[in-house]
Amino acid sequence: MPAEQRVPSRWGALAFTAKASILRACRTLREMRGGRPLRHSRAAALRDAPVVAESRSPLWGGPGGAQETLLTAGKIQNLRLAVRAIDGIEVPAGTVFSFWRQIGRASRRRGFVAGRELREGCLIANTGGGLCQLSNALYEAALAAGFEIVERHAHSRLIPGSRAAAGRDATVFWNYVDLRIRSPQAFRVEARLTAEALEIRFRGADGTADRGVVVAFPGSRDKAHDCVGCAQEECIRHLPAGEARTKRPTAWLVDACWPEFAALLREQAGPEDALFLPMRWPSRARYAWPALAGGETRATLVALSRARALRRLPAAGGALPRAMLAYDQQLAAAYVRRLSYRHTHLVVSQSLLPHLWRDGCLQGRSFDVLMERWPLASLQARLDRALSRHPESPTLGDFRAPAEIVTAEAEALAAAARLYTPHAGIAARFADRAVHLDWALPDVSRAPRPAIGGRTILFPASALGRKGAYALRDAVAGLEVDLVVSGRARENNAPFWRSVAVRPMPAGGWPGRIAAVVLPAVVEHQPRALLRALALGIPVIATAACGLDEGPGVTLVPEDDAAALHEALRRALGDAAPLLQASSRNSA
């Protein structure tokens, strides 16, 4: 701190508080007499209007260290809450936009935390600190758009290299130091946080004037007097130096435990990482996530309620996926309520992703995704194509996710840093960001080993269109096979397999002799039965939709291609029977 600048004292702090209280009361009285500015609502009239100005400013910067990281994370949390209040609002022509009227007071009760704030020449920690970054961005976007500046206050101290030094700042302090702007044309405000920046965009019907993108203007923090690392221990704002952190703590927000994802967590989790999981249940592999040193948060009531509800719903039909989607939303909400702003990086199960994105929880954070399935848009397109080939199917079109969920997932996936998946098809689809994990083969050391050969074909699924039942039904026609089906669900109550001899899975497990395990699925995200077959040395016939790479023991056939599947089955059976004619591929 410069020698000529006095060290802040408790008396000085009390005097500042008293002065601020008087000025707040005066502002309140003036607005009671003259009318308060309106609080604007979200609307969609200008959603597609031209962009008239933009501002982009970095979230992270400064010397680093534990205190620096914590206060910057606090600033981002405050911005995360504030942008929710302004994103998507539309301000009518000639109407004043007031920063504080729109956002409200930054209090701990509303979720605001300690962040960095410039006060009396010092960068200090204060509840709601960091909101000036938002007011600065709004101000310079308003300047670029040519809006009228009704009220704006410059910072009292100028930091070299900052927006204030360039005259592009607008400080705010509840409620008497406000930023107010107005435009003769209606305009829309769009605000969002990426993992690295705050982005503000104005849209308006009048997009013909001289407008432009506001260039980011990073400040030079090393020239500012900063409470982090300050040696003035007698100062009431003194922050003791903390231990530097080399990695920001990560929160793992997960649902079903896959062995591949559990191995990833064990490999990558740091000492400060926290685990958010549905519940602990020793006998259920679904919840067998490794424990983390940073602690864990459970949503046991949601998990128990979900388990009870889903047991009562049929596997076929749209009721089950609709219920699963609703419980995914509840689980995500339970996690968000307990998530700390200190967790600036997240690893998220895909089922939770669209709900976290819509909540705004992912704004200002970097995040990775545990990919459990195809993106909803791709998944539904695959089902639509299958339904066009089999319009008689009552299950291929029984559920489609709401459009807003599909859109939210697509936007979140586009913003994700990395996508972890063992599924070969999904990894190839996102080759630029996907981390292709190895499938984990199950331990079969104590399992009975079926003999390889004979005429038994195991179909480890229910007789449903998405599992490739139509193609298999046509492919086995004319072959002397013993077809074993593990699932109980089916397309409808009418006989599905026609003249093909079919029997259910034996009560004691897999048959004692198997020629091949066959899954010609249209959709399959977790091919555990196929992995078990590979571990046991049983030949596997599948489609690329099952997520396996072709190699020793794995034969891949095109989806819904009964002729190719027939040929693969014939080879597995050692059968010299003629090939199934292509005309039978789509037989009735």
Average of per-residue pLDDT across 203-223: 56
Residue 406: inside a domain = yes
Note the pLDDT of residue 156.
Answer: 65
Q: The pTM is what?
A: 0.86
Q: Which residues contact 312 (CB under 8 A, 6 or more apart)?
A: none
- β-bridge pairing 197-204 and 51-58: antiparallel
Residues 6+ apart with CB under 8 A from 451: 512, 513, 514
Residues 419 and 504 in one domain: no
The whole-number pLDDT of residue 414 equals 96
Check whether residue 308 and residue 258 sit in a common domain.
yes
Residue 538 lies in a domain: yes
Of the residues 371, 402, 436, the one at which a domain ends: 436
Confirm if 510 and 450 have CB atoms less than 8 A apart: yes
What mean pLDDT do residues 131-160 have?
87
* β-pair type (180-182, 148-151): antiparallel
Query: What distance in Å separates the CA atoms of residue 120 and residue 249, rounded to the nearest whole number?
Result: 32
Percent of the chain's residues with pLDDT above 70: 84
Distances (CA, A) of 508 to 4, 213, 447, 503, 511: 86, 68, 12, 14, 8
How high is the mean pLDDT of the chain? 86
Residue 577 predicted with pLDDT over 70: no
Give the model's pLDDT for residue 131: 94
* Shared domain check, 347 and 456: no
Please report, for the domain that includes residue 571, its CATH number.
3.40.50.2000
Residue 56 sits in the same domain as residue 199 = yes
CATH number for the domain spanning 432: value is 3.40.50
HEC letters along 517-566: EEECCCCCCCCHHHHHHHHHCCCEEECHHHCCCCECCEEECCCCCHHHHH
Is 1 a domain residue? no
Least confident of 12-16, 473-477, 523-527, 578-582: 578-582
517 against 507, higher pLDDT: 517
Cβ proximity of 122 and 237 under 8 Å: yes
Across 12-16, 309-313, 543-547, the highest mean pLDDT is recorded for 543-547
CB 34 within 8 A of CB 95: no
Please compute the mean of the pLDDT values over residues 106-119 and round it to a whole number: 85
Q: How many domains does the chain have?
A: 3
- Of 373, 381, 380, 390, nearest to 469 by C-alpha is 390
Give the whole-angstrom CA distance, residue 161 versus residue 333: 41
One domain, residues 260 and 137: no
Position 346 in a domain? yes
261 and 212 assigned to the same domain: no
Do residues 161 and 257 share a domain? Answer: no
Report how far Cα 58 is from the mean position of its chain's Cα atoms: 21
- Tens digit of each residue's pLDDT (9 = 90 or more) over 364-398: 999 999 999 999 999 999 999 999 999 999 999 98
pLDDT value at residue 7: 63
The whole-number pLDDT of residue 576 equals 52
The domain of 555 spans 451-584
Beta strand 502-504 with 482-485 is parallel
Q: Both 351 and 319 in a single domain? A: yes
> Do both 406 and 280 map to the same domain?
yes
Distance between CA 207 and CA 546 in Å, rounded? 50
Which of 113-127, 310-324, 506-520 is predicted least confidently?
A: 113-127
Asked if residues 475 and 500 have their Cβ atoms less than 8 Å apart, the reply is: no
Core vs surface per residue 396-405: b (16+ CB within 10 A) or e: bbbbebeeeb
| Mean pLDDT in residue range 187-211 | 84
Long-range contacts of 237-242 (CB under 8 A, 24+ apart): 237/8, 237/122, 237/124, 237/125, 239/67, 239/125, 240/67, 241/65, 241/67, 242/65, 242/66, 242/67, 242/70
pLDDT, tens digit, for every residue of 220-277?
444 444 455 554 444 444 444 444 333 578 999 999 999 999 999 999 999 999 999 9
- Helix, strand, or coil here: 374? coil
- Going by pLDDT thresholds of 50, 70 and 90, the confidence category of residue 119 is low
Last residue of a domain, one of 204, 223, 242: 223
Residue 499 lies in a domain: yes
Residue 122 pLDDT level (bands cut at 50, 70, 90): low
The larger pLDDT score, comparing residue 117 to residue 305, is at 305
In a domain, 194, yes or no: yes
Measured distance CA(78)–CA(288) in Å, rounded: 35
Element of type H or E holding 122: strand 122-127
- Are residue 88 and residue 176 in the same domain, yes or no? yes
Considering the domain architecture, whether residues 215 and 307 belong to the same structural domain is answered as: no
CA–CA distance, 278 with 300 (Å, rounded to integer): 6
Residue 528 domain-assigned (yes or no): yes
Q: In this structure, is residue 426 part of a structural domain?
A: yes
Same domain membership, residue 460 and residue 432: no
Highest mean pLDDT among 61-70, 76-85, 483-492, 504-513: 76-85
Q: Last residue of a domain, which of 223, 240, 271? A: 223
With a CB cutoff of 8 Å and minimum separation 6, the contacts of 559 are 386, 468, 471, 520, 521, 522, 543, 544, 545
pLDDT at 25: 79
Residue 351 pLDDT exceeds 90: yes
In the predicted model, what is the mean pLDDT of residues 163-177?
77
| 544-576 residue pLDDT tens | 999 999 889 999 999 999 999 999 999 999 875
Instruction: Using the structure block, give the residue that is written with the tokens 């072709």.
Output: 550
Q: Burial of 497 by CB count in 10 Å (0-12 exposed, 13-18 middle, 19+ buried)?
A: middle
